[in-house]
């Protein structure tokens, strides 16, 4: 009996030569509406699914291949006499090849103008059903979901049944990965639509974006995966314009830099080392902002990752090229800036839109589990701010405090950030006690601590941080407040004439 292939694809890339290859090998082809038309136009002999099922395509294509004539032909075990008997009794003919790729759900929902109803119509039902039937019965059926596999299938046609088994098994596994990812994507879309934040189970789907040489360390295997709904302003969407391939650490640091620089509407530059900002600067131009980010900590920026929120121009590029930077990320680079920076082979240039994005769920894996939380997109809310000290901040101090508050959110706890009006001057990150982080930030700031503002990601458990700040000449503090010993800190601040702001919001980052 002639072998039969059912071909029903949304992505028609490579369809014609592949199907012609099947026909040339003596295989009969059955196909659905659009696919059949494409094959006929190319002169590939094909018969319609309706002629096999004896039933027309109905409900705008919602039902075309969902029929026992199709699924019986896919699922019947050729090695079981009763299966063969049953399909014969119902005049069902076996189908030996299934070539299906699905409605483009991911591409559809990626378009901002897509309505909910349009997205629902792009949920493929018949396609996954055929793929799963064929994949279950892979002992007898070859199933192809990815056009990249067309060539290896054509090559396998000359093999005997036994020799075809490993390829069939591999393709079946790929199908179940594919349908699982496809369904997970639909589930995520609908879950988000009903704003269900902590459902009873989560199936996430990310696709392989980039192989990485190694992980955080050379003995760790790693790869970069992308979410199907990644925002245009995300590290996953960055285009690398120049430089060696990105490392695992580069990607994490560039992500951190991008997320901080998004906080600013004025020209801003952020330098990152090991996931913490070592310098953040703002200015009236990107060059000015970058100079400040550099001056914030000239030592730590060496080998750093820098993100800016406006085009890198020649002046900025000149300054950047005088420093060893691993990565520069920007929404664009002027031609002259690109020409200059691409002369340096060790720098990587990344281009990506820099704009505030919708909050995403943040996933943190722990051994044996996954922690899920909303992204911390909280800014400074005027409604929750109070000033418990005798003195309120001056306008200049407010500017510095607001800058510090934007930055401290992105520094590992315990986090203390010292700022003046347009740059960080000291960053104390990741210490196990708050006063320790303050001491580091103050030491780093040196003279510049005089008159600086201090931002703390969480409240002061004791008055010691205010005491330390006062000794260094800090004049204004911003912190959440809420400690049982707030009075101690307020009293110390008043003693030293420090203006202190309570935000009532905490920004821990672990
Ligand atoms: N409903 C069905 O019975 C059905 N059978 C196949 N499809 C899909 O229809 C698409 C191909 O359609 P066409 O050949 O008309 O361009 C494929 O992506 C295939 O997965 C179906 N569509 C959706 O569910």
pLDDT in tens, 215-274: 999 999 999 999 888 889 999 999 999 999 999 999 999 999 999 999 999 999 999 999
Over residues 413-433, the mean pLDDT reads 97
- Mutational pocket test of ligand 1: of 6, 10, 41, 60, the residue with most ligand atoms within 8 Å of the beta carbon: 10
pLDDT at 195: 86
How far, in Å, is the centroid of ligand 1 from the Cα of 130?
10
Q: Of 324, 326, 285, which is closest to residue 308 (Cα–Cα)?
A: 285
Query: Is 280 within 8 Å of 269 (Cβ atoms)?
Result: yes
Supply the DSSP symbol for 333: B
pLDDT in tens, 475-508: 999 999 999 999 999 999 999 999 999 999 999 9
pLDDT at 358: 82
Q: How far apart are CA 178 and CA 11, in angstroms?
A: 15
- Mutational pocket test of ligand 1: of 31, 37, 64, the residue with most ligand atoms within 8 Å of the beta carbon: 64
pLDDT at 112: 85
Angle between the 126-136 and 68-75 helix axes, to the nearest 10 degrees? 20
CB of 98 within 6 A of ligand 1: the answer is no
CB of 102 within 6 A of ligand 1: the answer is yes
DSSP 3-state of 30: strand
The protein residue whose alpha carbon is closest to atom 16 in ligand 1 is 34
CB of 127 within 6 A of ligand 1: the answer is yes
Does residue 192 carry a pLDDT above 90? no
pLDDT in tens, 270-286: 999 999 999 999 999 99
Confidence of residue 432 (pLDDT cuts 50, 70, 90): very high
**pTM (2 decimals)?**
0.87
CB of 63 within 6 A of ligand 1: the answer is yes
pLDDT at 397: 98
Half-sphere exposure of 322 (CA within 13 A, CB side): 9
Does residue 204 carry a pLDDT above 90? no
Does residue 339 carry a pLDDT above 90? yes
Task: Give the other-Cβ count within 10 Å of 479's Cβ.
Answer: 27
pLDDT at 357: 84
Q: Of 504, 491, 442, which is closest to residue 462 (Cα–Cα)?
A: 491
Supply the DSSP symbol for 436: H
Catalytic residue status for 274: yes
Supply the DSSP symbol for 245: P
Q: How far apart are CA 303 and CA 433, in angstroms?
A: 28
Mean residue pLDDT across the chain? 96
pLDDT in tens, 26-64: 999 999 999 999 999 999 999 999 999 999 989 998 999
What are the beta bridge partners of residue 312? Answer: 333
Confidence of residue 123 (pLDDT cuts 50, 70, 90): very high
The protein residue whose alpha carbon is closest to atom 19 in ligand 1 is 127
pLDDT in tens, 437-453: 999 999 999 999 999 99
| DSSP run (H or E) holding 244 | none
Query: Is 212 within 8 Å of 132 (Cβ atoms)?
Result: no
Over residues 305-334, the mean pLDDT reads 98
Q: Of 196, 208, 210, 236, which is closest to residue 146 (Cα–Cα)?
A: 208
Q: Which residue out of 242, 274, 319, 496 is catalytically annotated?
A: 274
Q: Of 503, 477, 508, which is closest to residue 490 (Cα–Cα)?
A: 477
pLDDT at 205: 85
Q: How far apart are CA 429 and CA 90, in angstroms?
A: 72
How far is the CA of 342 from the CAs of 245, 290, 333, 347, 488, in angstroms? 14, 18, 11, 8, 55
Confidence of residue 297 (pLDDT cuts 50, 70, 90): very high
Q: Which residue out of 3, 83, 93, 136 is catalytically annotated?
A: 136
CB of 126 within 6 A of ligand 1: the answer is yes
Q: How far apart are CA 270 and CA 283, in angstroms?
A: 12
Confidence of residue 1 (pLDDT cuts 50, 70, 90): confident
Residues 6+ apart with CB under 8 A from 87: 72, 73, 76, 93, 94
Peptide linkage before 376 cis (omega within 30 of 0): no
Q: What is the DSSP string of 232-263?
A: SSSGGGPEEEESSPPPHHHHHHHHHHHHHHTT
């Amino acid at each position: 009996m002639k072998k039969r292939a059912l071909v029903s694809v949304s992505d028609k890339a490579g369809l014609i030569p592949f199907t012609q290859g099947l026909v040339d090998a003596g295989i009969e082809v059955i196909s659905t509406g659009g696919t059949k038309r494409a094959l006929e136009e190319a002169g590939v002999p094909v018969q319609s699914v309706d002629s096999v099922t004896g039933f027309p395509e109905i409900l705008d294509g919602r039902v075309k291949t969902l029929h026992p004539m199709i699924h019986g032909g896919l699922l019947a075990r050729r090695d079981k006499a009763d299966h063969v008997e049953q399909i014969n009794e119902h005049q069902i003919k076996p189908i030996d090849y299934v070539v299906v790729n699905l409605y483009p759900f991911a591409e559809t929902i990626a378009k901002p103008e897509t309505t909910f109803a349009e997205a629902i119509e792009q949920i493929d039902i018949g396609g996954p059903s055929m793929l799963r039937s064929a994949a279950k019965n892979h002992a007898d059926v070859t199933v192809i979901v990815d056009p990249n596999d067309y060539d290896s299938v054509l090559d396998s046609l000359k093999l005997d049944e036994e020799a075809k088994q490993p390829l069939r098994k591999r393709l079946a596994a790929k199908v179940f990965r594919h349908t699982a990812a496809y369904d997970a994507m639909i589930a995520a879309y609908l879950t988000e639509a009903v704003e269900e934040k902590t459902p009873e189970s989560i199936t996430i789907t990310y696709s392989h974006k980039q192989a990485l040489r190694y992980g955080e360390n050379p003995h760790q295997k790693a790869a970069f995966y992308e979410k199907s709904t990644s925002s245009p302003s995300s590290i996953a969407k960055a285009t690398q314009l120049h430089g060696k391939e990105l490392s695992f650490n580069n990607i994490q640091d560039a992500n951190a830099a991008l997320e901080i620089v998004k906080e600013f509407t004025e020209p801003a530059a952020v330098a990152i080392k090991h996931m913490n900002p070592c310098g953040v600067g703002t200015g009236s131009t990107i060059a000015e902002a970058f100079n400040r980010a550099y001056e914030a900590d000239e030592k730590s920026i060496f080998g750093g990752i820098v993100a800016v929120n406006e085009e890198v121009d020649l002046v900025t590029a000149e300054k950047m090229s005088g420093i060893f930077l691993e990565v520069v990320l920007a929404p664009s680079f002027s031609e002259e800036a690109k020409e200059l920076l691409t002369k340096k082979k060790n720098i990587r240039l990344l281009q990506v839109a820099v704009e505030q994005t919708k909050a995403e769920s943040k996933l943190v894996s722990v051994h044996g589990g996954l922690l899920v939380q909303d992204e911390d997109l909280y800014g400074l809310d005027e409604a929750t701010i109070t000033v418990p000290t005798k003195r309120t901040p001056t306008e200049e101090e407010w500017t510095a405090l607001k800058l510090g508050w934007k930055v401290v959110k992105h520094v590992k706890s315990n986090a203390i950030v010292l700022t003046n009006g347009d740059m960080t001057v000291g960053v104390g990150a990741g210490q196990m006690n708050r006063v320790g982080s303050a001491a580091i930030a103050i030491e780093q700031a040196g003279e510049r601590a005089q008159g600086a503002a201090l931002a703390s990601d969480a409240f002061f458990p004791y008055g010691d941080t205010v005491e330390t700040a006062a000794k260094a000449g800090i004049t204004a503090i911003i912190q959440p407040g809420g400690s049982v010993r707030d009075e101690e800190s307020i009293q110390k601040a008043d003693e030293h004439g420090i203006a202190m702001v309570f935000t009532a919001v905490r920004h821990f980052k672990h």
